[in-house]
């Protein structure tokens, strides 16, 4: 339970680590906007190359970023396949006749079932999933026999392929950029940066400092509460609750047996913590001095100007071309 | 001399039927070390919460350094009294040791330069300098409690209340906290220890015994520690060496040297 990989800070040294968190957050937003404005494949690829360049200069291992992307892989592939199959605009790139018959459909069902049972034992699940899709396509297009009751067509349109590609690269760029942010910024610094950026929200009566305090206390208590959850699970296991197995109904009982004590303990903790905070002169909403202050350096200005230049260029490119 | 803390006829009710504190009168002098001793549910923790205004007395007045505690003065009074609570985990606010010590200083709006100096001084005082960038999950209970003490010390309060601050620690951690209490008291800080552990009360100047929300007895530590009858009445036990001494006396075994040694033993905890 302690191996939460997404959004984890990894200590290191490069210019990315020494940037002001405010810079990184703002640059992320600006570049994300730019990634959405781009509508030319070449420009998008240049963007991707730039992102990879930042990874290399910032000495961030590509493997780390891949770990960040992995949970999204299924979504990426799914949107890609969906776009390719169902977008019917633009010139036709590729066409194949499909033959539907009881035999081919039976084979398809068998393939899916086989895939479902064996995927657990395969290391490269993504490739295996793609392999299954190709097998289905091959079965439907190659086996032609008398029982065929319908024919269909598998058509790839240019727009479908283009859009699918766009969505995929955009998502990769955005996720990579945010992974860079979380890898190179301590949660506390990130929180401080957010607090500073959100300060103008005071106009709509949202106190950024309080929000930041809530986030910082949550960050501080995540390991403590995880420990607690482990203890409760052990305690419940010693009373006969089996967290490993069970049907859906039993799972619900297991989760309740974990959640109820967790809730009670958390409330007790927060009560004591509130007392301790108040006793140390904390008054919500009152001004406080800060130990951590952010320093804006030359590099920060350069990065912001650079990001803005990219955004403006992409907007110009889209308007003019 | 003006007392540091005085309570006059203080009562507190959690609800209509149960009275946690009944008509408590108590004065604590500046620089004094007072133990408040009592069994579970005797009202001793309620008392500490009343002193910093976390709870509001139903009756009576509390004065700290001459200021009457009420809704307007509670924030000023909290600047004079710090509390170290029982559970080290539930009073660790910062993400790191440094941040936690800074928390109270940030609340007091201390300038950053000053803050850095104070953190440096007090983290060294509790021997936690090597751990200054560590997170609470990397620290033991005793270490966390030392950080809590540093956090209070940095606020430079006149009074420090230790509200069962050692009850969740191992013997080594407990001895360490006790040695800080001794040191602080020498430096002139008023110390109030709230406990049910007799060993923590030995070195204090005075002991107040609470039972069911009232003061059963109070007096100099040496007298109370030897008062077998009163201690038994409030579900507390004599320290083992003193118990032995009483036993020897009861059976008319006279040995002054042995008695002296037993008394010494009880003092060393």
A272 to chain B: which residues are within 8 Å by CB?
A: 85, 87, 90-91
Tokens of A281: 């002169």
| Of residues B54, B79, B96, nearest to A281 (C-beta) | B79
Q: Determine whether the interchain pair A290/B106 forms a contact, defined as Cβ–Cβ distance below 8 Å.
A: yes
Query: B104, B138, B134: which is closest to B118 by C-alpha?
Result: B104
- Are A279 and B119 inside 8 Å of each other by CB? no
Pick from A220, A224, A279: CB nearest B52: A279
A279 and B78 within 8 Å at the Cβ level: the answer is: yes
**What is residue B47's three-state secondary structure?**
helix
Q: What residues form DSSP beta bridges with B267?
A: none
Residues 6+ apart with CB under 8 A from A79: A164, A167, A168, A171
A118 and B CB contact within 8 Å: no
The predicted pLDDT at position A82 comes to: 83
pLDDT in tens, B66-96: 999 999 999 999 999 999 999 999 999 988 9
Residues of A in contact with B90 (CB under 8 A): 269, 272-273, 276
**10-residue block means of pLDDT along chain B (269 residues)?**
88 85 92 90 89 91 92 92 92 92 94 95 92 90 93 94 89 87 92 88 90 88 82 78 80 80 71
Query: What local confidence, expressed as pLDDT, does residue A1 receive?
Result: 39
pLDDT by 10s per residue, chain A, length 321 = 344 444 578 888 888 999 999 999 999 999 999 999 988 888 899 999 999 999 999 888 888 888 778 778 878 888 888 888 787 787 888 888 888 888 888 999 999 999 888 888 877 777 888 888 889 888 888 888 888 888 888 888 888 888 888 888 998 899 899 889 988 998 888 888 988 998 888 888 888 888 888 888 888 888 888 888 999 989 988 988 777 777 788 888 888 888 999 999 999 999 999 999 999 999 988 888 988 888 899 999 999 999 999 999 999 988 887
Q: What are phi and psi of B11, to 5 degrees?
A: -125, 155
- Residue keyed to tokens 């950029």: A177
List residues of B whose CB lies inside 8 A of any A CB.
49, 52, 54, 75, 78-79, 81-83, 85, 87, 89-96, 98-99, 102-112, 115-116, 119, 135-137, 151-152, 155
CB contact under 8 A, B78 and A217: no
Separation of alpha carbons B137 and A36, rounded Å: 41
Gap from B152 CA to chain A (nearest CA, Å): 8
Sheet containing strand B81-84, edge to edge, reads B81-84, B159-163, B190-195, B33-37, B206-211, B214-220
- Best residue in A189, A220, A280, A292 to probe B by mutation, most B CBs within 10 Å? A280
Q: What does the pLDDT look like over B12-25, one tens digit per residue?
A: 988 877 788 999 99
DSSP annotation string for A3-25: ---TT------SHHHHS-HHHHH
Nearest neighbour of B85 by CB, restricted to A219, A276, A291: A276
Query: Is-contact B115 B98, C-beta < 8 A?
Result: no
Among A266, A282, A291, A293, most B C-beta atoms within 10 A, so best to mutate, is A291
Taking contacts as CB-CB distances below 8 angstroms, the residues of chain B near A273 are: 90-91, 93
Q: Is the ipTM of this complex over 0.85?
A: yes
Task: Answer yes or no: do B109 and A288 touch at CB < 8 A.
Answer: yes
Closest residue in A to B103 (Cα) is A280
Confidence (pTM): 0.78
Q: Decide: residue A49, CB within 10 A, 0-12 exposed, 13-18 middle, 19+ buried.
A: exposed
Rounded to the nearest angstrom, the minimum Cα separation between B221 and chain A is 28
Q: Residue B54: which of A217, A278, A293 has the nearest Cβ?
A: A278
Nearest residue in A to B157, CA atom: A280
Q: Which two tokens stand for residue A31?
A: 């570049």
Alpha helices in A19-61 (DSSP H): 21-37, 41-57
Q: For residue range B134-159, list pLDDT tens digits in order.
A: 988 889 989 999 999 999 999 999 99
Q: What is the pLDDT of residue A7?
A: 57
pLDDT value of position B268: 65
Identify whether the C-beta of residue A98 lies closer than 8 Å to the C-beta of residue A152.
Answer: yes
Contacts of A37 (CB under 8 A, 6+ apart): A311, A314, A315, A318
B107 and A282: CB-CB below 8 Å?
Answer: yes
């Amino acid at each position: 339970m302690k191996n939460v990989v997404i959004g984890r800070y990894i200590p290191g040294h490069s210019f990315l680590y020494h940037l002001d968190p405010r810079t990184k957050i703002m640059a992320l937003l600006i570049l994300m906007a730019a990634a959405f404005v781009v509508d030319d494949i070449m420009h998008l690829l240049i963007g991707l190359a730039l992102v990879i360049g930042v990874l290399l200069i910032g000495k961030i291992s590509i493997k780390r970023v891949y770990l960040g992307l992995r949970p999204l892989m299924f979504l990426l592939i799914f949107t890609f396949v969906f776009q390719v199959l169902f977008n019917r605009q633009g010139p036709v790139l590729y066409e194949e006749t499909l033959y539907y018959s009881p035999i081919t459909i039976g084979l398809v069902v068998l393939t899916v079932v086989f895939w479902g049972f064996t995927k657990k034992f395969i290391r490269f699940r993504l490739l295996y999933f793609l392999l299954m899709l190709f097998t289905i396509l091959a079965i439907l297009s190659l086996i032609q026999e008398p029982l065929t009751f319908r024919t269909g067509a598998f058509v790839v349109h240019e727009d479908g392929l283009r859009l699918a590609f766009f969505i995929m690269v955009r998502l990769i760029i955005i996720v990579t950029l945010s992974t860079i942010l979380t890898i190179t910024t301590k949660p506390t610094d990130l929180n401080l940066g957010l607090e500073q950026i959100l300060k103008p929200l005071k106009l709509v009566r949202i106190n950024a400092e309080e929000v930041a305090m809530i986030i910082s206390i949550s960050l501080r208590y995540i390991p403590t509460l995880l420990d607690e959850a482990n203890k409760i699970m052990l305690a419940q296991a010693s009373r006969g609750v089996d967290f490993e197995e069970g049907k859906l109904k039993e799972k619900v009982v297991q989760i309740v047996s974990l959640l109820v004590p967790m809730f009670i303990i958390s409330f007790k903790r927060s009560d004591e913590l509130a007392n301790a905070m108040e006793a140390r002169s904390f008054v919500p909403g009152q001004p406080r001095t800060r130990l951590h202050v952010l320093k804006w350096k030359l590099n920060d200005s350069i990065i912001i100007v650079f990001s803005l230049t990219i955004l403006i260029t992409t907007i110009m490119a889209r308007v003019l071309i | 001399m003006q007392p540091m803390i005085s309570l006059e006829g203080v009562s507190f009710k959690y609800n209509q039927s149960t009275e946690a504190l009944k008509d408590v009168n108590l004065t604590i002098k500046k620089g004094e070390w007072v133990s408040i001793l009592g069994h579970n549910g005797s009202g001793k923790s309620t008392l500490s919460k009343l002193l910093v205004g976390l709870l509001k007395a139903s009756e009576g007045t509390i004065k700290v350094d001459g200021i009457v505690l009420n809704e307007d003065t509670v924030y000023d009074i909290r600047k004079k009294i710090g509390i170290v609570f029982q559970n080290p985990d539930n009073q660790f606010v910062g993400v790191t040791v440094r941040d936690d010590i800074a928390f109270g200083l940030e609340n007091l709006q201390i300038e950053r330069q000053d803050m850095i100096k104070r953190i440096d001084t007090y983290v060294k005082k509790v021997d936690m300098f090597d751990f200054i960038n560590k997170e609470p999950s990397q620290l033991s209970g005793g270490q966390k409690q030392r950080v809590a003490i540093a956090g209070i010390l940095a606020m430079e309060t006149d009074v420090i209340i230790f509200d069962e601050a050692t009850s969740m620690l191992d013997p080594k951690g407990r001895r360490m906290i006790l040695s800080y209490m001794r040191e602080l008291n020498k430096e002139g800080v008023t110390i109030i220890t709230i406990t049910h552990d007799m060993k923590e009360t030995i070195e204090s100047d005075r002991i107040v015994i609470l039972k069911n929300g009232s003061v059963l007895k109070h007096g100099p530590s040496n007298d109370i520690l030897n008062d077998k009858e009163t201690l038994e009445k409030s579900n507390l036990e004599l320290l083992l060496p003193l118990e032995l001494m009483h036993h020897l006396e009861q059976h008319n075994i006279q040995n002054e040297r042995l008695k002296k040694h037993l008394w010494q033993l009880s003092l060393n905890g």
